[in-house]
């Protein structure tokens, strides 16, 4: 979802950094408020073979987030600061979308499209001792690889259901997607992943979902 949306530039220098440089990015645990939102959203997860974890990555240059196949979800500080302060529903949509990529095995399915799974699982097999150290390096590759249009649409729809089940208002997705809509407009025709649905189209899909369910 957020893989194609970057603040001010088409692709930040951080995402283009070599692995050794990427590993220098600071990744840390979230505060209690963010963790509470996350815990509510994973309360109805279907993947009992993994343990979901939430992290924050210190990167003000990117309005972005990503998830890894073992259940790690990472929010970049650029995204957290771009969303309206105190809007838990908008933030819940971000988390629910990334959780949905894991729930729907999207990273696994990318294995046949470029070996992303091998890269991510190769890092995970090194053990948890260097988890925070290596997270940013693998995350950079997730961000620059991106998902297909169909996967992004699936993650949006599934994320809205996770929000509903966790008693968050799915209308929070409108706030988030309107932010991306403005950013895409500011970037003109430059889109990082042209195969992905535009924010305009995703916003319309979300509005259709809300109308059908009376939100």
Given this model, what pLDDT does residue 39 score? 98
pLDDT in tens, the chain (215 residues): 544 333 322 223 333 333 444 446 789 999 999 999 999 999 989 998 999 999 999 999 888 898 888 899 999 999 999 999 999 999 999 999 999 999 999 877 776 555 444 444 444 434 444 455 555 555 555 554 567 788 888 999 999 999 999 999 999 999 999 999 998 888 765 454 555 678 899 999 999 988 998 88
Query: What does the pLDDT read at residue 46?
Result: 92
As a dihedral over the C-alpha atoms of residue 190, residue 95, residue 115, residue 18, rounded to 10 degrees, the angle is: 70
Cβ neighbours of residue 118 closer than 8 Å, sequence gap 6 or more: 111
Domain ranges (residues) in the chain = 2-212
Identify the pLDDT of residue 143: 52
What span, in angstroms and rounded, lies between the C-alpha atoms of 177 and 181? Answer: 6
Read off the DSSP letter of residue 46: S
Q: What pLDDT does 190 receive?
A: 47
Q: Are 28 and 56 in contact (CB under 8 A)?
A: yes
């Amino acid at each position: 979802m957020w893989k194609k949306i970057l603040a001010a530039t088409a692709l930040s220098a951080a995402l283009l950094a070599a692995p050794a440089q990427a590993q220098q990015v600071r990744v840390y645990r979230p505060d209690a408020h963010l963790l509470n939102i996350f815990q509510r959203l994973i309360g109805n997860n279907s993947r009992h073979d993994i343990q979901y974890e939430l992290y924050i990555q210190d990167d003000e240059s990117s309005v972005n987030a990503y998830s890894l196949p073992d259940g790690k979800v990472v929010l970049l500080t650029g995204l957290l600061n771009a969303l309206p302060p105190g809007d838990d529903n908008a933030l819940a949509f971000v988390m629910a979308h990334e959780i949905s990529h894991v729930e729907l095995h999207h990273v696994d399915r990318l294995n046949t499209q470029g070996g992303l799974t091998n890269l991510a699982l190769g890092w995970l097999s090194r053990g948890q001792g260097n988890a925070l150290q290596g997270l940013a390096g693998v995350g950079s590759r997730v961000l620059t690889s991106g998902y297909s249009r169909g996967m992004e649409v699936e993650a949006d729809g599934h994320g809205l259901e996770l929000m509903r089940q966790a008693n968050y208002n799915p209308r929070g997705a409108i706030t988030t997607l309107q932010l991306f809509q403005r950013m895409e407009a500011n970037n003109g025709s430059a889109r990082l992943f042209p195969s992905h649905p535009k924010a305009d189209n995703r916003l319309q899909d979300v509005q259709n979902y809300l109308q059908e369910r009376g939100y």
